[in-house]
Chain A
Amino acid sequence: MIEGAPIADLSRVGVRFGRMPVLRDVNLRIDPGEVVGIVGPNGSGKSTLLRILATLLKPSIGRAAVLGTDVLSEGTLAARRQIDLLGHHPGLWGELTLLENLTFVARLAGSPTEKAERALDLVGLGGAKHRRADHSSHGMQRRVEFARVLLTRPRMLLLDEAHAGLDKAAQALVKAAVEDVQGREGGVVLVSHEPDRMLPLVNTTYHLEGGTLHDRTGMT
């Protein structure tokens, strides 16, 4: 990726599921060190937009480049390794313990496995590391995901309703994760239908409604 190049650059992106348009004519540029907040009601297309930024969904129309890679190209593998997405449902295997889940991630990512244990300590789960994921609360599972962010150190962090299900202490993890990525000149996107807790963290806010993205001034 070229120095100073945008982390993500979406131009006239549209997505349709069958006949239903979910996103229309979305233009969005995320620069290094920028934290973008996207606010919108349920069903407005926020999660779809995040999945495009994560290269997990291809736009039906328009151009989307993430970390210097066109999401429609074959070369997304390298870009994907620099992205982490925390969605509505934690990507954990219920039968594995919290530590086993994180060790699995570490091994796949080619990271030392000792880091997994240290990351769990840092998010306050050191005492629960041998608890199965399906015996852990949603908040604990969320904390494991933040431990994963500490482990993989993504260049682009995508947070879908990041504060949901987190107690006050855990909400500090969101701030720490955002600041860490921002400090490394990465990009962060937070989406929420409850902007109050998100807004203090972001540089730029957009409003997404009916699949159309408006900036703070209401311009599309």
Chain B
Amino acid sequence: MKAGGFWQQAKEIARKDLLVEGRAGEALYITIPFGAVALMLIPLAIGTDRPLLAEVGPGMFLAVALLFGMLVAFRQTAADTPPQRELLTLLGTDPAAKFVGRTATSTLLLLAFEIVLVPVTILLYNPGRIPNWPWLILVMVLLAGGLALVGTLAGSVTTGLRTRNTLTPLLVAPLSMPLLLGSAQVVEALRREESILPWITLLATMNLAVAVIGVVTARPLEESSR
């Protein structure tokens, strides 16, 4: 039987993952509200120091997006059971297409997560008007894409391991640091009205590098997990 092409397979994996996620609601109904609550707790701990809140607001947004974003990227609904994995293999699904499809789903979920967090951050931290703020939309997309790529890659590396739940965050956290650093520096550079190009380049390079590694290693990683 002729299998669907690479992009068709990636699209079907993403469509299926989104349907499963929409019904399981793991990211939408559990992780996203927790992220919003975490953002609310920090002002309560700091108190009424409004200039300080305005100063740390964007950083808090990025930290919460990163911490809870890791959970979204490594959501349990993205982990297929062994019979499901075997079915996908026997259907001739390209592991690289699976990587791309799964990353696409995670990126969409992370963008939804960030879109919910933005108004919460503005409301609670009142960070003021950041010059050339539309660049932050690009940063949000690159951050979501980067986290999704890192989370999916870590999921591929740890598939079938008994230590999966422990190992994955340990892999994701250090790999996400360039994303956090780059995003924070873009905010700083915009505030100082300096060039953001080096930091945008860092974010884009990180995305590209993890995407290439993920696609190239998808098949060997899947075969080695048997």
Contacts and interface: CB of A to CB of B under 8 A. Distances in A.
A114 B7 CA distance: 21
Contact of B92 (A81, A85, A91, A95): A81
A105 B91 contact: yes
A95 B8 contact: no
A96 B16 CA distance: 8
Given A56-B226, A58-B226, A90-B83, A77 B16 contact: no
B24 A80 contact: no
Contacts of B83: 87, 89-91
Given A56-B226, A91-B83, A95-B23, A110 B2 contact: yes
Contacts of A81: 1-3, 90-92
B8 A110 contact: yes
B19 interface: yes
Interface in A37-93: 54, 56-58, 77-78, 80-85, 87, 89-93
A161 B70 CA distance: 40
Identify which of A80, A82, A107, A108 gathers the most chain B CB atoms within 10 Å of its CB: A108
A91 B3 contact: no
Contacts of B15: 104
B3 A108 contact: yes
B193 interface: no
B87 interface: yes
Main secondary structure of the interface of A (DSSP, over half): loop
Given A95-B77, A96-B16, A96-B20, 12 more contacts: A81-B3, A81-B91, A89-B81, A92-B84, A95-B19, A96-B19, A104-B12, A105-B91, A107-B8, A107-B12, A109-B3, A109-B4
Given A89-B81, A93-B16, A104-B16, A83 B90 contact: yes
B88 A108 contact: yes
B217 interface: no
Contact of A84 (B24, B84, B90, B226): B90
A95 to B, nearest CB: 4
A38 to B, nearest CB: 19
A80 B89 contact: yes
A108 B3 CA distance: 6
B86 interface: yes
A214 interface: no
Nearest to B77: A95
B90 A110 contact: no
A110 B1 contact: yes
B23 A54 contact: no
Interface residues of B, number: 29
Contacts of A57: 226
A34 interface: no
Nearest to B25: A95
A107 B4 contact: yes
A56 B20 contact: no
Given A95-B20, A95-B24, A100-B19, A109 B1 contact: yes
Contacts of B168: none
A154 B87 CA distance: 13
26 contacts: A54-B90, A56-B90, A56-B226, A78-B92, A80-B89, A80-B90, A81-B91, A82-B1, A89-B82, A90-B83, A92-B84, A95-B77, A96-B19, A100-B16, A100-B19, A104-B12, A107-B12, A108-B12, A108-B91, A109-B1, A110-B1, A110-B4, A110-B5, A111-B1, A153-B1, A154-B1
Interface string A151-164: 01110000000000
Given A54-B86, A87-B86, A93-B84, A152 B20 contact: no
Contacts of A105: 87, 91
